[in-house]
Structures are given as C-alpha cells and as structure tokens.
C-alpha cells in the first residue's frame, strides 16, 4: 500500500527513473564536493568554506526545473548544489575555493560561493545579503517585455527577507506579474541568530500581501520542493506571475569555516536534524521504490568520490593569476 502511494508520488510529478537518479546523483555530488572543501580547509589549503550541507534537496529540487543557459539563476552563497546541477563543475568549484586563475566565477577575485557563469545565465553574485532580488525582478521584466518564456529564480536564506530589497522586489514582481520564483532556503539560522528573532509571522504567507502565491514546503524532501518549484516555474512561463517558495531546512554545518557554532546551538539539535538529512531521506525513498540498491549506491558514490578527488587535485596544482591581474577588467572597453 505505502509503496504504491509513494511510487505514485514521483509518477504524478512525471519524473522518470532517470530523472530520480540524476537528482540523487546531483545531491550526492554537491555533498561530496562540500565535504572535500572542508578537508582542504582543515589542511590549511582553503582559506574559507561556506557550505550547502543540509540544503541539497531544496536546491536541487528547485533548480531541476530550470533550463540552463535560458532561464536565469540568482543564487546565494550556499547554492553550489544548484550551480553544479546547472552545469558548473566540481573542478571549477575547487578552483574557486582555492582562488586559482581558472576559477570560473571570478578568476580568483571573489570568495568561494560567489557564483557566476555567463553561458549558464548564473548571474554573478556577491556578499551583501538581499541585493539579488531587485536584480532578479529586472531580469524577469526583460523577459516579460520581449514576450519570451524565460523565468528567473532568485535565492537566499531566511535573513535575506528581512531587508528592504526583498520586499521591494516582491512588490514590484507582484505589480507586474513577473516570471520570477523567490526561493527562500530557511535553514533556521542567520550565523547565530535563530529564525524566531529574524522572521515575524511566516515568510511564505507574506506573498499573499503582494498578490501572488506563497508556499511553505519541507525543504528536506526533494520531491516536495521539486513539485512546488515545478508549479511555480510553469506558472511563470505561462505569464501568470511570481511565486514565493519557503523551503524549511537546516544548516548542518557551522555558518562558515570561520564560525564556531558551539557558541550558540546545541549538539542535540544538530543530531536530531541529521536524522532528517535530505540525502538519506531520498535514498530511503529510492530504496523503498526499488529504484536504487546498496550496490548501485556504493558504485555511484565511489565514482563521485574519485572524480571529486581528481577535481580537487587539479585545483591544488593549478596556478594563481599573476598579482598584477588584480588591475585588469575594472571597466569594459567602450
């Protein structure tokens, strides 16, 4: 009975077996790249790590609905799961982590997690929290003005909804029915500040005030996020306007490699959330539905770990840009 019911879940979403495996694989790649980054940090090779761990379901479930290079993504610093899914590579990620010349995001100019790809329409991101939202609304407006079916996904943590930029963008998107999806990855903390001191009421419900739908979803359930985002993307493509998705999830690591989260959260709390790890959860679904078995999983994981190690080695051996290159590309040539 249960099996039939759960099986019906991905089938009703029109997800084929191959899709489910791609999704699972993308989640695992993101996790393994992230874990490797921390190792490089502990070895003293990576100056700074900011992690996606715990948020893979929210990221991949949402971004699986995008057409890379056509739709636009405004990611935030944890969205490596998304950018890897859309076509950035682990090698690129490590080159960025180590600040090497071949770093595809910025050639060693920005911290890791500040993604950019002109080819993939991943718009260059920065550190000031929330600035991406008005930009995303503008990009969506351009699609609307030209009558194209492109959509824009703009992402951030729950604290990114506290500042004006988010509200200004929500309002503007509501006024013009813009093809934009606001994805808020609510991972409970903003560095040390828990969401109860960050968020009044409900983030998802705020959408109603701006005149468009807002959905709260279990952000650790990749199919739930996929479903909400699929509906949102279809709605945007039809020209019906924006959607807000609040994915409830949890930050499984410290804020960054510079943070010690023992100062502000209990170990028990993290342990409780580990049991809800989105990867383990999806694995269970795939096992239960006979879509994956232990051998296949092991083989996939081994293969991923191997190319992640290779990518990391490549980055370690790659050269830095010449120091004088810091002077280049301040202005585009007229």
Partner 1 sequence: MAEKNLLQAIHDGLAEEMRSDESVMILGEDVGRAGGVFRVTQGLQEEFGPERVLDTPLAESLIVGSAIGLSVNGMRPVAEIQFADFIPPAFDQIVNEAAKFYYRSNGAWTVPITIRAPYGVVPGGALYHSQSIEAWFCNTPGLKVVAPTFPADAKAMLKSAIRDPNPVLFLEHKRTYRLIKEDVPEDGHEVPLNKARVHREGGDITVVSYGLMLYTALEVAGKLSEELGIETEVVEPRTLYPMDRETILNSVKKTGKLLVISEANITGSVSGEIAAIVSQEAFEWLDAPVIRLGAPDVPAAAFAKPMMDFFVPSAEKIEAAMLELARY
The residues of the shown chain that bind ligand TPP, judged by CB under 6 A, are 78, 127-129, 156-160, 187, 189-191, 251, 255
Q: Is 181 in the site for partner 1 (CB under 8 A)?
A: no
CB of 225 to partner 1, least distance (A): 24
Q: Which of 162, 185, 167 has its CA nearest to residue 63? A: 185
CB of 163 to ligand TPP, least distance (A): 7
For residue 251, indicate whether it is catalytic: yes
Are 101 and 326 within 8 A, CB to CB?
no
CB of 319 to partner 1, least distance (A): 15
> What are the tokens at 132?
């991406």
> What are the tokens at 223?
């199919």
* Residue 308 contact among Mg ion, ligand TPP, partner 1, none, beta carbon within 5 to 8 Å by kind: none
> What are the tokens at 282?
């999806």
For residue 91, indicate whether it is catalytic: no
> What is the CB-side half-sphere exposure of residue 245 using CA atoms within 13 A?
28
Cβ proximity to Mg ion: between 109 and 265 the closer is: 265
Are 203 and 266 within 8 A, CB to CB?
no
Of 121, 187, 256, 257, the one binding Mg ion by CB under 5 A: 187
Binding mask of the shown chain, residues 151 to 180, with x at each position contacting Mg ion by CB under 5 A: ------xx----------------------
Residues 175, 9: Cα–Cα separation, whole Å? 34
For residue 176, indicate whether it is catalytic: no
Residues 132, 155: Cα–Cα separation, whole Å? 8
Binding mask of the shown chain, residues 131 to 170, with x at each position contacting partner 1 by CB under 8 A: x-xxxxxxxxxxx-xx---x-x-----------xx--xx-
The CA–CA distances, whole Å, from 117 to 25, 125, 170, 223, 326 equal 22, 10, 25, 27, 20
Are 261 and 284 within 8 A, CB to CB?
no
The residues, ordered by sequence, that sit 6+ positions from 254 with a Cβ below 8 Å of its Cβ are 51, 260, 261
* Residue 72 contact among ligand TPP, partner 1, Mg ion, none, beta carbon within 5 to 8 Å by kind: partner 1
Binding site for partner 1 (CB under 8 A): 72, 105-107, 109-110, 114, 116-118, 123-124, 126, 128, 131, 133-143, 145-146, 150, 152, 164-165, 168-169, 171-172, 175, 328-334
Q: Which residues are catalytic?
A: 251, 255, 264
């Amino acid at each position: 009975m249960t099996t039939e019911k759960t099986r019906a879940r991905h089938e009703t979403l029109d997800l084929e077996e191959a899709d489910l495996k791609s999704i699972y694989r993308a989640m695992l790649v993101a996790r393994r790249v992230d874990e490797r980054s921390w190792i490089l940090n502990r070895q003293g090779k990576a100056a700074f790590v900011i992690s996606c761990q715990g948020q893979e379901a929210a990221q991949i479930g949402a971004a699986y609905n995008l057409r890379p290079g056509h739709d636009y993504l405004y990611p935030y610093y944890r969205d490596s799961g998304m950018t890897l899914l859309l076509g950035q590579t682990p090698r690129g990620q490590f080159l960025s982590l180590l600040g090497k010349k071949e770093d595809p995001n910025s050639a060693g100019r920005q911290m890791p997690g500040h993604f950019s790809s002109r080819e993939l329409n991943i718009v260059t991101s920065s550190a000031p929290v929330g600035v991406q939202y008005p930009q995303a609304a503008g990009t969506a407006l351009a699609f609307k003005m030209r009558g194209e079916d492109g959509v824009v996904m703009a992402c951030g943590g729950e604290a990114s909804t506290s500042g004006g930029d988010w509200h200004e963008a929500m309002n503007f998107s509501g006024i013009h029915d813009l093809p934009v999806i606001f994805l808020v990855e609510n991972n409970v903390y903003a560095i040390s500040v828990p969401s109860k001191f960050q968020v009044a009421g409900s983030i998802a419900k705020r959408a109603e005030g701006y005149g468009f739908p807002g959905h709260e979803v279990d952000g650790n359930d990749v199919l739930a996020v996929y479903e909400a985002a699929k509906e949102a993307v279809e709605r945007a493509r039809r020209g019906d306007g924006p959607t807000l998705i609040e994915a409830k999830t949890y930050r499984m690591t410290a804020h960054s490699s510079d943070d010690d989260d023992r100062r502000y959260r209990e170990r028990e709390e993290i342990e409780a959330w580990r049991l809800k790890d989105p990867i383990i959860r999806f694995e269970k679904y795939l096992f239960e539905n006979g879509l994956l078995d232990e051998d296949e999983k092991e083989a996939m994981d081994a293969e991923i770990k191997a190319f992640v190690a290779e990518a990391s080695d490549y980055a370690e051996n790659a050269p830095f840009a010449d120091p004088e290159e810091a002077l280049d590309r301040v202005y585009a040539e007229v």
